[in-house]
Amino acid sequence: MAVMEKTPVAVLGASGYTGAELLRLLALHPFFEVLAVTAGSHQGEAVGDLYPSLAAAYPGLVYGPNDEAALAALSGVEVVFCALPHGASQEIVPALLPTVGHVVDLAADFRLRDAALYPVWYGEAHSCPELLADAVFGLPELDRHGLPGARLVAAPGCYVTAATLAMAPLVKAGLVEPSIVVDAASGVSGAGRKLSETTQFCTVDEDFLAYGLLTHRHTPEMEQAIGAEVIFTPHLAPMNRGILATCYARPAPGQDGDPLDVLAKAYAGEPFVVVSDRSPSTKATLGSNAAHVTARRDPRTGWVLAICALDNLVKGASGQALQCANAVMGWAETTGLPLAGLAP
Amino acid sequence: MAVMEKTPVAVLGASGYTGAELLRLLALHPFFEVLAVTAGSHQGEAVGDLYPSLAAAYPGLVYGPNDEAALAALSGVEVVFCALPHGASQEIVPALLPTVGHVVDLAADFRLRDAALYPVWYGEAHSCPELLADAVFGLPELDRHGLPGARLVAAPGCYVTAATLAMAPLVKAGLVEPSIVVDAASGVSGAGRKLSETTQFCTVDEDFLAYGLLTHRHTPEMEQAIGAEVIFTPHLAPMNRGILATCYARPAPGQDGDPLDVLAKAYAGEPFVVVSDRSPSTKATLGSNAAHVTARRDPRTGWVLAICALDNLVKGASGQALQCANAVMGWAETTGLPLAGLAP
Amino acid sequence: MAVMEKTPVAVLGASGYTGAELLRLLALHPFFEVLAVTAGSHQGEAVGDLYPSLAAAYPGLVYGPNDEAALAALSGVEVVFCALPHGASQEIVPALLPTVGHVVDLAADFRLRDAALYPVWYGEAHSCPELLADAVFGLPELDRHGLPGARLVAAPGCYVTAATLAMAPLVKAGLVEPSIVVDAASGVSGAGRKLSETTQFCTVDEDFLAYGLLTHRHTPEMEQAIGAEVIFTPHLAPMNRGILATCYARPAPGQDGDPLDVLAKAYAGEPFVVVSDRSPSTKATLGSNAAHVTARRDPRTGWVLAICALDNLVKGASGQALQCANAVMGWAETTGLPLAGLAP
Amino acid sequence: MAVMEKTPVAVLGASGYTGAELLRLLALHPFFEVLAVTAGSHQGEAVGDLYPSLAAAYPGLVYGPNDEAALAALSGVEVVFCALPHGASQEIVPALLPTVGHVVDLAADFRLRDAALYPVWYGEAHSCPELLADAVFGLPELDRHGLPGARLVAAPGCYVTAATLAMAPLVKAGLVEPSIVVDAASGVSGAGRKLSETTQFCTVDEDFLAYGLLTHRHTPEMEQAIGAEVIFTPHLAPMNRGILATCYARPAPGQDGDPLDVLAKAYAGEPFVVVSDRSPSTKATLGSNAAHVTARRDPRTGWVLAICALDNLVKGASGQALQCANAVMGWAETTGLPLAGLAP
């Protein structure tokens, strides 16, 4: 039996939460192997010192620098995952792209098709708008045809994935009016690893509040992916992981189809989407790449309700990026990805 | 200086969470003293054994039975708080009312003015609908004129108090269309003390989910108190206490007033309502009788957003009941009630 | 009826957790009123903006500076609470003491009687060791005789209060060998408000670990208060508040008395100490000034076990400081202090 | 390339937490496949309905009954995992053992070598004591020589694994006196799925307390595995998973070796044990089969401290059972087992 040689990958920005989660998932992957990891402020540190959770899996791995020499050394690497803060990818991807096989970006840098939205929502113009048209939006359940062989994949954000999986099929089917309320809650890891008073334990524990009122940057990405106007209110829930998007829309005139049927048809055969009349629970997705969705119509008021739960660091970030990388490589999308979640 | 004699009160159903919270608050009250407590399944047990949190404050207090003899013994008590499960108050209040000073009910039994709503939302007809017209709905910030001297007060539910404080002034001012999305999250204590798989630690911890989809019993009470159609989705958040209601409405045609101004005017001088442009945090209300509200209009989509946070066991239940009892007695509503919350 | 004039107090360092908790408790106090609050880094900020939990209770209060002019302005204030970081009190108390009625210090600055211990455990010599002999150690249940009228009170630390209430009576009674294992867990608020990676939500939530192995600064204070050698391991538990100290000692030769009896006798009549054969729960003390203790002897191995639970910010800090201030003023120690805790 | 045929396994008692965790881990395993699952009270129910976390991984799997016919149908299965409540395995293993390849038991039924301990600690005599001598105690890092081909494996308990990994090498090396304090904290999942007031969210959240004072059933198993007298106090921490055992012992006379060196030598080359001078964190082990240990000697008092952290449902139960099954089959112990944990 011939032993398959493993495909080398690199993770840029591996000291953040999505980078660490990529390393956790890559440790389970049968075909990829981690060649290099980089980190802005932790270079030279052992991965297992910053994340003791990774000490047993990566005993000798050390963060390299994020500088130009380090990027040059990635030449020939098959897949580079960029788990960098927003804005950093657009600086390096133009130079990186010609030298490596494929880039999967986990930030917002290549998600919006309309470059004009960047200054409005992100505060500055895009530095390489010519690449936006080439980037494939990496939400396979919505549209996977561009993924095999793609050079540049923009994996969507966590809130966007949740709201889109719940609502996009209903909008596409014409079931609802295209003005949608997305009321969502996220675990604290969604805010990233950066030190902040708003994410201190004594601030967040036993607390629930809305943030980013009317101004959250994921809004235009949702509108693009769902194809409707969105009013979006994210909330912070006292938990590590998980996103629940509860979405509301008025029925389109004359439409009275069952929204759960629409979702069931849209996701038939999708290994990572569980459609059910159960109310989705974020905990059911902990550590897995699954998303759970439901929908129903209120017979009393006519409003349509659709809900999606997922793990923001897996299906909402690193798991989705790996699912896309599998598709890019032409492998089964499920390769090496956990279908089962931790319970409890 | 003459020592004021304390006014005796009784708490029926004192073994539940709202009963225990009443006892905590009554231990701080300068004018009330607890004469008797009853409990269905814990009679004969010391209060401090069931709730060690109350052991130092009530060293000798024992739960009495909820039976007829016990109720007869309450004759002459000034205020009786009923912290019983739904349906129990309507069985005993008709006989209790003529023998005691005042009854403050914390359940839904006397909240709905329209008796026809009970079979629809609670599954059976009301047993003494003739009392509904006499019951005063106990949300002082909305309408306190009937409280002084009231014989029967129906303190509103936790979700209802939150959604109503956020939205009622906006609806009354004609600022929004009368079809409102109320998306709310509650701590687990809102489910009560009853043993259940859905409230086990390992079910709830690190989880966020919606429940009672489209069918929660507080809906008609909200519609009555706010004066608008409501689509309501409650969620369970992994925390002990706290309710946050995030409410959405379309602007009424031609209305472009600032919703925060409307709230500020509506609650000017209210000691328990904090109006601010901060996003309200449930934790800021922990253990206190305060509610925090904000509101704003989305310049992009026109939607109006209003949010309220409170402690479901204080302003959402026992604190509000005590505030009402203070008003019934003709005392300042703030008497003995905590204005400051625990932080952290 | 003559209205009693309230006694003015000031809180220095009121932006920290113990300062905020003092303000919460002072809002319930019938005789004290807050004249001034100071804060190092938040001066000029409204108390209700930094702690929305205090917004309803202190609508107009603003943090003043911690500078000399501000301290001079405290001249004549009856009680000054110092809720400052370690080291700050010894800098200001010598000048403050002659101008105000009484100082109650919540830090370690005046707790150790032996000045030589400060360089060993705190890294630098004490700047006014001559005051150490005058400071009264403020653990009333251990020794309250020096409190009435005391000019300077050093309120003990949270871990120390817990371990001492559990073990001091057993050591004093000669029941156990004077070498004690104190294994304790604390909620995260014990680490204070300072921003740190170790207290970020995503670090602490769902985690339990030991810290300060063999080197925690409370060790010598425990040894002084208990009167025995102590090996102390603190742990961080994923909760806001609460300390549980589980203590182990070998029986003294020939001693076979019941340790629970010893505790019951030691604390007979103490309003804030609940002695019981129940295993103490930190949650039973949430927000109250009560401490719960138990003890038993292992018939199999001979080891003696004693446990104490308390709220680190109340009986472990601000509540105890207020209890001491009550004693200093000659009032009942329970004046204005919550005996009942929040449950749940 | 020949496709390897998968080895069929069954999980008895798969509706409990350790059963569900076995299913999560088996979904990642390359060589085992789940043939049958049984459950006492949930038979006929879909696994994905009881555990939505398993819905995507086991879409059609349904719990079978635990009855005799079902057990007979297991004839020929290679490995049967028993995840049953204590006492159930000894009833069925004598009949099961001759018909299947191997049995790995996760309960205490076959852990104690001395049958006389069962009536003392478990309240009744063992029903098949003759099997105790044949059962292999499944803690590979302590002793793995009996595992390959073993017919009956008794996987040790969660507390026992933690305390033993920390202390057994120190006792074996003669470094400490053989009387050990084990002070441990566990997440709530250690109590199992059974409904109980003590594990309701509102009881446990924000609480920390000791339980089973001096009487916990794991005590004799610890004494057997460590080879020393143990006084053991377990605590309940407000988290789903994780065990931290903090252990204390007096040094043996004349012994002053470094306990961390002893641990490092004992676990050199062990893939699942991380030895470090970091204080072990339960969270670093979440979802992985790794255990983290440290140790040090107190230069001031002489006491020796050793600490171990692990995930009670993985290395403390189902992961360890699977590690043993790998060893039984003659495969690498790491086969299919996660080395990396979730963070955060």
For A151-204, the pLDDT digits (tens) are 999 999 999 999 999 999 999 999 999 999 999 999 999 999 999 999 999 999
Cβ distance C55 to B28 less than 8 Å, yes or no, reads no
Q: Does residue A82 contact residue A106 with C-beta atoms inside 8 Å?
A: yes
Distance CA D249, CA C101 (A): 49
Q: Does residue C198 contact residue C191 with C-beta atoms inside 8 Å?
A: yes
Decide if pLDDT at C125 tops 70.
Answer: yes
Cβ distance C287 to B287 less than 8 Å, yes or no, reads yes
Q: Which residue of D has its CA nearest to C240?
A: D206
Least Cα separation, residue D239 to chain B (angstroms): 7
SS3 label, residue C214: coil
Decide if pLDDT at D2 tops 70.
Answer: no
Q: Which residue of A has its CA nearest to C195?
A: A197
Of C27, C53, C280, the CB nearest to B343: C53
| Mean pLDDT value of segment B259-271 | 98
- C-alpha closest to that of B161 among B101, B218, B94, B230: B218
Cβ distance C309 to D209 less than 8 Å, yes or no, reads yes
Least Cα separation, residue C98 to chain D (angstroms): 40
Tokens for D119, please give them: 């009536």
* DSSP secondary structure, C152-173, as one string: EEEPPPHHHHHHHHHHHHHHHT
Burial D74-110 (b: 16+ CB within 10 A, else e): beebbbbbbbbeebbbbebbeebbeebbbbbbbbbbb
Least Cα separation, residue A204 to chain C (angstroms): 7
Q: Which residue of C has its CA nearest to A194?
A: C197
Q: Does residue D16 contact residue D338 with C-beta atoms inside 8 Å?
A: no
| Mean pLDDT value of segment B221-226 | 98
Least Cα separation, residue C30 to chain D (angstroms): 30
**All partners of chain A with 3 or more CB pairs under 8 angstroms:** B, C, D
Distance CA D275, CA D291 (A): 9
Determine the pLDDT at residue B67: 85
Identify the H or E element spanning D70.
helix D68-72
CB pairs under 8 A between C and D: 148
Cβ distance C209 to D240 less than 8 Å, yes or no, reads no
SS3 label, residue D81: strand
A126-145 pLDDT tens trace: 999 999 999 999 999 999 99
Distance CA C96, CA C38 (A): 14
Q: Is B202 a catalytic residue?
A: no
Least Cα separation, residue A131 to chain D (angstroms): 33
Residues in chain C: 344
- Enumerate the residues of chain C whose CB falls inside 8 A of the CB of residue A199: 200-202
Q: Which residue of B has its CA nearest to A214?
A: B298
Cβ distance A240 to C188 less than 8 Å, yes or no, reads no
A158-172 vs A219-226: helix crossing angle, rounded to 10: 30
Residue entry with tokens 């509301």: A248
> How many CA atoms, within 13 angstroms, populate the side-chain half-sphere of residue C184?
37
Cβ distance A57 to D340 less than 8 Å, yes or no, reads yes
Determine the pLDDT at residue B1: 40
Cβ distance B183 to A185 less than 8 Å, yes or no, reads no
- Options A158, A247, A308, A324, the catalytic residue: A158
Determine the pLDDT at residue B313: 98
Phi-psi category of C56—alpha, beta or left, where left has phi over 0 and alpha has psi -120 to 50?
alpha
CB pairs under 8 A between A and C: 51
Order of strands across the sheet with A152-154?
Answer: A32-37, A7-12, A79-82, A102-105, A152-154, A136-137
Q: Which residue of C has its CA nearest to B272?
A: C56
Distance CA C65, CA D108 (A): 62
Q: Does residue D318 contact residue D26 with C-beta atoms inside 8 Å?
A: no
**All partners of chain D with 3 or more CB pairs under 8 angstroms:** A, B, C
Instruction: Kindly indicate the confidence band of residue C203, based on its pLDDT and cuts at 50, 70 and 90.
Output: very high
- Options D82, D158, D247, D324, the catalytic residue: D158
Residue entry with tokens 């000073």: B101
CA distance readout (Å), C171 to B18, C163, C247, C255, C297: 42, 12, 12, 12, 14
Least Cα separation, residue D240 to chain B (angstroms): 6
- Enumerate the residues of chain D whose CB falls inside 8 A of the CB of residue B197: 195
Say which amino acid occupies B7.
Answer: T
pLDDT tens by residue, chain A, 344 residues: 455 689 999 999 999 999 999 999 999 999 999 999 999 889 999 999 999 999 999 999 999 998 888 888 999 999 999 999 999 999 999 999 999 999 999 999 999 999 999 999 999 999 999 999 999 999 999 999 999 999 999 999 999 999 999 999 999 999 999 999 999 999 999 999 999 999 999 999 999 999 999 999 999 999 999 999 999 999 999 999 999 999 999 999 999 999 999 999 999 999 999 999 999 999 999 999 999 999 999 999 999 999 999 999 999 999 999 999 999 999 999 999 999 999 99
| Predicted TM-score (pTM) above 0.95 | yes
Determine the pLDDT at residue A4: 67
- Options C82, C128, C158, C308, the catalytic residue: C158
Of B56, B285, B339, the CB nearest to C27: B339
Distance CA A164, CA A171 (A): 10
- Enumerate the residues of chain B whose CB falls inside 8 A of the CB of residue C283: 53
Cβ distance C340 to B56 less than 8 Å, yes or no, reads yes
Which phi and psi (to 5°) does residue B316 adopt?
Answer: -85, 0
- Enumerate the residues of chain C whose CB falls inside 8 A of the CB of residue D244: 208-210, 235
Cβ distance A55 to D274 less than 8 Å, yes or no, reads yes
Tokens for D189, please give them: 């999942």
Q: Of C206, C217, C285, which to mutate for an interface test with D (greatest number of D Cβ within 10 Å)?
A: C206
Distance CA B206, CA A244 (A): 12
Tokens for D7, please give them: 């080895």
Residues in chain A: 344
Distance CA A331, CA C141 (A): 70
Q: Does residue C35 contact residue C331 with C-beta atoms inside 8 Å?
A: no
Q: Which residue of A has its CA nearest to C16?
A: A202
